Amino acid sequence: MSNIRALGLVSGGLDSTLAVKLMLDQGIEVIGVNFNTGFCISDTRRQVRRRKDQQANLRHEALRAGSDLNFPVEIVDVSQEYLRIVTNPRWGYGKNANPCVDCRIMMLRHAWALMPQFDAKFVFTGEVIGQRPMTQHRFTMRQIEKQSGMDGLLLRPLSALRLPETQPEKIGWVDRNKLKGITGRSRKPQLALAVEFGLTDFPQPAGGCCFLTDPAFGRKFFDYLQHIPKGYQVTLEDFVILKVGRHLRLQSGLKMVVGRDEAENNFLESYLQGRWALRAKDVVGPVALLDGGANPEELHEAACILARYSDGRDFPVVAVQCQKSGREKILSVVPLTAEVTSRMLII
């Protein structure tokens, strides 16, 4: 069974790593594929925290899994296409802003299209029946397979014994007897398999890897969608900013983002173009961005909020520097109270 090559969707989490191991142990040559949707939590942490959290674990898990098990990993950027999916998913959202069914279909379609390039005979994933509410129901898994065009050529090695036989098994590229029949939400079977395979280094599943499943991000995401002007084309940058800072709506509905720490302040400094940047002048405080063409009242209100989050929050007056495209204003404002500010928070 040598020289049979397969593409594996690899996140670097335990399930996809185990699926790879099951394939490698059968002599299948594995090419890992990892999709960058633009909503990966660890990717953003690497961008935002790289100076502050040098000790933090910010590695790329798919590449780490490839290195540990000695198989190549291709990173495929689908972030532009994903914008369309995440803002208008055909199959709807999960519990938060996660369009998981559309997302899986898109990833599998890409994998399908990549098969000739890598001379791959089939595609496999680390999915487990019943483990995730939205995408890993038996019925949904079947729908995803059909919608992606992968009918019969998509193998789920961890749950294969509970699923119909696939082409790779029927043809004999893969020995069905060496596949697993894991189902359900318990992680115990996978952890036992990890012990059996001697795998010790993998991310904890509870941490999550996708911003879209995070309730706080979901609130900011849907708030953003509700406020998009008609005809406006969303960009990746719009969503990048949703991943950092405190987000508030002024009374007029204008959006303001306030950095929560030095790393976020530094990150926001890269997104000043076309926005007002507010900073406390004589006391330590965050950087804040204010959307679009704020009028004088809105700028004043934003400065009061900024002052609230500065070290001058208990001062009678704080000087706030407001800059946009070479213009500068210094406003002396009274910091808002915590109570008023909290009512404006989206999160």
- 103 lies in the site for ligand SF4, by CB under 6 A: yes
CB of 295 to ligand SF4, least distance (A): 38
Sheet of 276-280: strands edge to edge? 246-249, 255-258, 287-290, 276-280, 318-324, 327-333
Close Cβ partners of 327 (under 8 Å, ≥ 6 residues apart) = none
Binding mask 36-65 for ligand SF4 (x = CB under 6 A): -x----------------------------
- b/e map 179-214, b = 16+ CB within 10 Å: bbebbeeebebbeebbeeeebeebbeeeeebbbbbb
Binding mask 72-101 for ligand SF4 (x = CB under 6 A): --------------------------xxx-
- 265 lies in the site for ligand SF4, by CB under 6 A: no
CB of 82 to ligand SF4, least distance (A): 9
Q: How far apart are CA 65 and CA 61, in angstroms?
A: 6
Per DSSP (E only), the strands in 169-245 are none
- 105 lies in the site for ligand SF4, by CB under 6 A: no
CB of 137 to ligand SF4, least distance (A): 13
- 255 lies in the site for ligand SF4, by CB under 6 A: no
Binding segment for ligand SF4 among 207-215, 260-268, 314-322, 324-332 (CB under 6 A)?
Answer: 207-215
- 33 lies in the site for ligand SF4, by CB under 6 A: no
Please check whether residue 124 is in contact with residue 170, taking contact to mean a CB–CB distance below 8 angstroms.
Answer: no
Rank residues 174 and 210 by Cβ distance to ligand SF4 and give the closer one: 210
Q: Which residue(s) pair with 124 in the sheet? A: 8, 155
- 111 lies in the site for ligand SF4, by CB under 6 A: no
**Placement of tokens 């590229």 in the chain:** 173
Among residues 82, 76, 78, the alpha carbon closest in space to that of 34 is found at 76
- Pairing state of beta strands 122-124 and 5-9? parallel
Rank residues 89 and 312 by Cβ distance to ligand SF4 and give the closer one: 89
The footprint of ligand SF4 (CB under 6 A) covers: 37, 98-100, 103-104, 135, 210, 212-213
